[in-house]
Chain A
Amino acid sequence: NSKVIQTPRYLVKGQGQKAKMRCIPEKGHPVVFWYQQNKNNEFKFLINFQNQEVLQQIDMTEKRFSAECPSNSPCSLEIQSSEAGDSALYLCASRTGGCAETLYFGSGTRLTVL
């Protein structure tokens, strides 16, 4: 069973509000991913980290989304000004470094933007 912890499970925001969610990766996993899963089960990669460094992020993330993985603190994903289209399940996943490729997912944060 995955030991990736995501909080909160549910998040409800109004349009224009900030939305922040957190993720504690599995112990010993330096690589962290954030995905967005919409209601049509389409997954969108948002950003990933190795330790505290950003490896890759999509353009959308660079505009309204921000994320960080500080040492000794939970990783976080924040939407500065929420839009209705941001309503989705946000999944955090982690894995070991090196050649291991298996991602272990948390239970997600369900964001609803009213």
Chain B
Amino acid sequence: AQSVTQPDARVTVSEGASLQLRCKYSSSVTPYLFWYVQYPRQGLQLLLKYYSGDPVVQGVNGFEAEFSKSNSSFHLRKASVHWSDSAVYFCAVSMGGMQQGTGSKLSFGKGAKLTVSP
């Protein structure tokens, strides 16, 4: 079974500063990888995803993530954060096509609450 670890539960950065949110996964094979964001009182919105190919993937609103097979990681980055980026960010993995019969459910990390200070 796969698992996801987000080691930083709370992160505070100043507006305009760069951001990195860490994600490490445990899986016997390379899973499909996702970052979702959850704004207050809302559901989850997809930021970006990685299936294969270029290890750096671009997402919405200037976010990108880099997959590292050797480190079993999928860290999220943004060059310059805005106050509206304040939210909870979740890393998630699924076994994808290797579990087609079971619907490929996602496993989530516990999230990183980002606060962007003025």
**Consensus secondary structure, chain B interface:** mixed
A30 to chain B, nearest CB (A): 11
Please measure, in the bound complex, the distance between the C-alpha atom of A52 and the C-alpha atom of B118, giving whole angstroms. 49
Inter-chain contacts of A59 with B (CB < 8 A): none
Residue from the list A1, A6, A50, A103 in contact with B106, Cβ < 8 A: A103
In the complex, which residues 70-118 of chain B have their Cβ closer than 8 Å to any Cβ of chain A?
A: 88, 90, 94, 96-97, 100-108, 110-111
We find that the number of chain A residues with CB closer than 8 angstroms to chain B is 27
Residues from chain A with a CB closer than 8 A to the CB of B100 are: 99
Of chain B, the residue at the smallest CB distance from A55 is: B103
Q: Which residue of B lies closest to A93 (CB)?
A: B44
With both chains docked as a complex, state the minimum distance between the C-beta of A89 and any C-beta of chain B, in angstroms: 8
Bound complex: CA A36 to CA B101 (Å): 22
Contact present for A2 and B105 (CB under 8 Å): no
Which of the four size classes fits the interface of chain B?
Answer: 20 to 34
How many angstroms between the C-alpha atoms of A91 and B49 in the bound complex? 20
Q: Which residues of B contact A6 (CB under 8 A)?
A: 43
A102-B49 in contact given A41-B110, A91-B44 (Cβ < 8 Å): yes
Q: Which chain B positions have C-beta within 8 A of A55?
A: 101-103
Q: Does B17 count as interface, using CB distance less than 8 angstroms?
A: no
Which A residues form the contact surface with B (CB < 8 A)?
Answer: 1-2, 4, 6, 31, 33, 40-43, 45, 48, 50, 55-56, 91, 93, 99, 101-108, 110
Give the interface of B toward A (CB within 8 A): 32, 34, 36, 41-46, 49, 51, 88, 90, 94, 96-97, 100-108, 110-111
The 26 sampled A-B contact pairs (Cβ below 8 Å) are A2-B43, A2-B46, A6-B43, A31-B103, A33-B106, A40-B110, A42-B108, A45-B105, A48-B103, A50-B103, A55-B103, A56-B103, A93-B44, A101-B32, A101-B49, A101-B51, A101-B96, A102-B49, A103-B46, A103-B106, A105-B44, A106-B43, A107-B41, A108-B42, A108-B43, A110-B41
